[in-house]
Amino acid sequence: MAFATSNSGGDANNHGGETNLTVPNVKLQSLTHLTDYMPGLKTQPNPLDNSPFFHPISEFYISSSDVIMSNVIHDLSGEFSSPRPHLAYHRAGPRKTIYFDPGQVRAAIVTCGGLCPGMNTVIRELVVGLWEQYGVREIYGIRAGYRGFYSFEPLKLTPKMVHNWHKKGGTVLETSRGGFDLQQIVDSIQHHAFNQLYIIGGDGTMRGMVKICEEIKKRKLNIAVAGLPKTVDNDVGIIDRSFGFQTAVEMAQQAISAAHTEAESAVNGVGLVKLMGRSTGHIVLHATLSSRDVDCCLIPEIDFYLEGKGGLFEFVESRLKNIGHVVLVVAEGAGQDVIPKTGDQSHVQEKDESGNPVFLDVGGWLKTELKNWWKREHPEELITIKYIDPTYMIRAVPANATDNLYCTLIAHSTIHGAMAGYTGFVCGPINGNYGYIPVDEVAQAKNRVDVKNHKWAWVRSVTNQPDFVRCSDSTGK
Ligand SMILES: Nc1ncnc2c1ncn2[C@@H]1O[C@H](COP(=O)(O)OP(=O)(O)O)[C@@H](O)[C@H]1O
Ligand SMILES: O=P(O)(O)OC[C@H]1O[C@](O)(COP(=O)(O)O)[C@@H](O)[C@@H]1O
Ligand SMILES: [Mg+2]
């Protein structure tokens, strides 16, 4: 069985001799295969055939018609069924036939962008998986992100060397922002004769990977390029969640718990926590739902205002009156449009080396505004505001058990895809199963908090916070 493919020509999804059948209303998100632009590549049986660990039976290998459906919720009445086709993604896992001679593989691993718990586990498992499962012996680490391809000599990696890396936070290979010079990167890849690239990074990294894949295709090089999505922000689309996210949420809860204790122990105590989340509020949302100590959370996806009916300060005031303390959690990217800008800030948006916006401190601003407002409204009453900004503490830690397992599975699943000759793909969990997603699709997709769905309603019911729909008689600014 096979599916309607999203690229009409070619047999990109037919590696392994499958027959194309069409399942109505299902669209298979087809992957690029090296043979699409380099026909005649030699194949060989998967060395896992002889692995003492696997003893492959016939169902062990994944065929090109094994897919994961992106949507697992259906309306059987048909009343609400979508006219749009259901998207299907190739299932990750070992293929019976591979397109690389393991003795000829020269693999390169690079980590880009900000830190995320689990990066070292992914590197470790790429090295161990390539070495143990496929017998690859030439495995290299690229130092300090994309710029490392042309700025540093690659570092030879062995299982012995990476043995303990999963216990460390950060990335032993080092990372960086910026430095994306396409020609220099691909020249260096060619110079070192790498033929498999494993790129660990977030949304920016994936956009860079799209360009690397295009250039490699243009130069007709026999190089498989695979992406492993990392970000604490969980802003990468299509996949269920990114590795390291759960660990970061756990760490964020510690800050919330401290803010709660401080607030409870003061007269009119306000605990204010700022958490990472550049353009998405997933960390804040999940930490709020799991801690239950939060009275109001502010995320980039929701506009809010401070004063007047239905505003944040009215809510704080009522909480202090009724409960005596209040805990507020804000994502760093929230409220950027309402924070007054001074001097140069009003003309130019500051950017980091990758072009990401650098934010004004929403937490510090909230603290000052609330203090001043309280002084005006309640000059005789105490208020104690404790502001906690754990910044890098939530991400510069080793992955927890769940994230470590995730990192292992994603690394091994990615290796299987590259060995099978797929390229320009990103591996990740889709509805609990690991799949291969075309990198251009991942680079375009954005996972923002959906403030119209049940989860956001759940947040509101847990916190009881205002919806910040401005009332017509509001005097708020
Ligand atoms: N549109 C883009 N095209 C090419 N490279 C990009 C692009 N956006 C980001 N990059 C590169 O990807 C790397 C990581 O990007 P960054 O945004 O810092 O982190 P992340 O990948 O975690 O989102 C950097 O080296 C950056 O230069
Ligand atoms: O490491 P930097 O450059 O200070 O950037 C901090 C940013 O990195 C993040 O932790 C994650 O961003 P990326 O995953 O896109 O790298 C954001 O939450 C935060 O805004
Ligand atoms: Mg990013």
Residue by residue, what is the 3-state secondary structure of 266-295? CCCEEEEEEECCCCCCHHHHHHHHHHCCCC
Average pLDDT, the chain: 92
Domain residue extents for the chain: 97-240+397-444, 245-338+352-396+451-463
49 a catalytic residue: no
User: In the chain, pLDDT over 70 holds for what percent of residues?
Assistant: 93
Binding residue positions for ATP: 114, 177-178, 202-205
Class at the top of the CATH hierarchy for domain 245-338+352-396+451-463: alpha beta
pLDDT category at 73 given cuts 50, 70, 90 is: confident
- Catalytic-role residue among 36, 66, 233, 293: 233
Q: Considering Cα of 245, then 212, then 37, then 109, what sign does the dihedral take? A: negative
Q: What is the pLDDT of residue 20?
A: 57
Ligand 2 center–CA 260 separation, angstroms: 26
Mean pLDDT calculated for residue range 22-48 = 93
Residue 109 gets which letter from DSSP? Answer: E
Query: If you count them, how many residues does the chain have?
Result: 477
* Ligand minimally distant from the alpha carbon of residue 231: 2
Whether residue 276 has its Cβ less than 6 Å from ligand 2: yes
Distance in angstroms (rounded) separating the CA atoms of residues 325 and 318: 10
Closest residue by Cα to atom 4, ligand 2, is 114
Question: Which residue matches tokens 């005031």?
Answer: 317
pLDDT in tens, 415-446: 999 999 999 999 999 999 999 999 999 999 99
Ligand 2 center–CA 181 separation, angstroms: 21
Whether residue 367 has its Cβ less than 6 Å from ligand 2: no
Distance in angstroms (rounded) separating the CA atoms of residues 49 and 61: 10
Binding residue positions for substrate: 231-233, 276-278, 332, 392-395
Q: What is the pLDDT of residue 79?
A: 75
Mean pLDDT calculated for residue range 101-130 = 98
Counting DSSP H helices and E strands in the chain, the numbers are: 14, 19
Q: What is the pLDDT of residue 83?
A: 76
Q: What is the pLDDT of residue 11?
A: 39
Element (H, E) at 249: helix 245-264
* Ligand minimally distant from the alpha carbon of residue 116: 2
Closest residue by Cα to atom 3, ligand 2, is 114
Closest residue by Cα to atom 6, ligand 2, is 114
Would you say residue 102 has pLDDT above 70?
yes
- The pTM for the full model equals 0.94
Identical fold, 97-240+397-444 and 245-338+352-396+451-463? yes
CATH topology for 97-240+397-444 is: Rossmann fold (3.40.50)
Residue among 177, 183, 209, 232 whose CB has most ligand 1 atoms within 8 A, to mutate: 177
Q: What is the pLDDT of residue 17?
A: 43
Ligand 3 center–CA 201 separation, angstroms: 8
pLDDT in tens, 339-393: 998 776 666 788 999 999 999 999 999 999 999 999 999 999 999 999 999 999 9
Question: Does ipTM surpass 0.90 in this model?
Answer: yes
Q: What is the pLDDT of residue 52?
A: 80
Residue 290 token pair: 């799991």
Angle of helix 362-377 versus helix 312-322 axis, rounded to 10: 60
Binding residue positions: 114, 177-178, 202-205, 231-233, 276-278, 332, 392-395
pLDDT category at 75 given cuts 50, 70, 90 is: confident
Ligand 1 center–CA 152 separation, angstroms: 19
Ligand 1 center–CA 206 separation, angstroms: 7
Would you say residue 92 has pLDDT above 50?
yes
pLDDT in tens, 284-307: 999 999 999 999 999 999 999 999
386 DSSP β-pair partners:
271
Cα–Cα–Cα angle for 10, 417, 225, rounded to 5 degrees: 80
Of 24-28, 121-125, 263-267, 392-396, which gets the smallest average pLDDT? 24-28
Residues with CB under 6 A from ligand 1: 112-114, 145-146, 177-180, 201-205, 207-208, 211, 231, 354, 356
